């Protein structure tokens, strides 16, 4: 991938994240609190991705770009506020204070890319696997996170290491 392509992709993701945040502010609180219907539609690797996994993908796409940007701290915080439950944000803050690493990425660095794979659902939650790609395309290394989303709200409620 060329630097220009990555720059365009980063700009597009940042614009998408900004638009999502602007739309979230415009929606009345009553509408955002209502349970949403599960829907499918996005295709990743030839399979249909559930809405919650698409939201995890949207979050990680925008979050990685925000953390990588020189002036992206405010956007990264806004993304956390929008996509993560308050309880998870509090747990991440505690983890980050103790470990001096980003709790969402479980690292001090920023990954080069990510891939979200839908998992199973049950008890009001769904799980997705997030593969973070580190290093160069010629010599990639991967770490895996398991991300839990609440079916009623679509918010991310847990992140743990491993798949």
Q: Which residues are CB-contacts of 90 (< 8 A; sequence separation ≥ 6)?
A: none
| pLDDT score of 40 | 36
Give the residue-averaged pLDDT of 67-78: 95
pLDDT cut 70: percent of the chain above it? 71
Q: Which residue has the tokens 């979200």?
A: 116
Q: Per residue in 111-128, pLDDT tens?
A: 999 999 999 888 999 999
| pLDDT score of 163 | 72
| pLDDT score of 10 | 56
| pLDDT score of 37 | 36
Distance CA 46, CA 65 (A): 25
Question: Does residue 44 have a pLDDT over 50?
Answer: no
Contact at 8 Å (CB) between 65 and 58? no
Contact at 8 Å (CB) between 60 and 114? yes
Question: Does residue 39 have a pLDDT over 50?
Answer: no
């Amino acid at each position: 991938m060329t630097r220009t392509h990555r720059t365009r992709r980063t700009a597009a993701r940042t614009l998408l994240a900004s638009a999502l945040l602007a739309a979230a502010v415009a929606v009345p609180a009553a509408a955002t609190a209502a349970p949403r219907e599960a829907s499918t539609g996005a295709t990743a690797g030839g399979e249909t991705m559930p809405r919650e996994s698409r939201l995890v993908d949207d979050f990680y796409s925008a979050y990685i770009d925000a953390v990588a940007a020189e002036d992206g701290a405010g956007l990264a915080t806004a993304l956390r506020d929008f996509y993560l439950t308050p309880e998870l944000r509090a747990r991440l803050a505690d983890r980050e204070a103790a470990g001096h690493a980003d709790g969402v990425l479980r690292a001090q660095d920023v990954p080069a890319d990510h891939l979200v794979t839908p998992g199973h659902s049950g008890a009001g939650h769904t799980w997705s696997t997030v593969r973070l790609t580190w290093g160069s395309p010629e010599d990639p290394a991967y770490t895996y996170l398991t991300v839990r989303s609440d079916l009623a709200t679509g918010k991310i409620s847990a992140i743990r290491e491993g798949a």
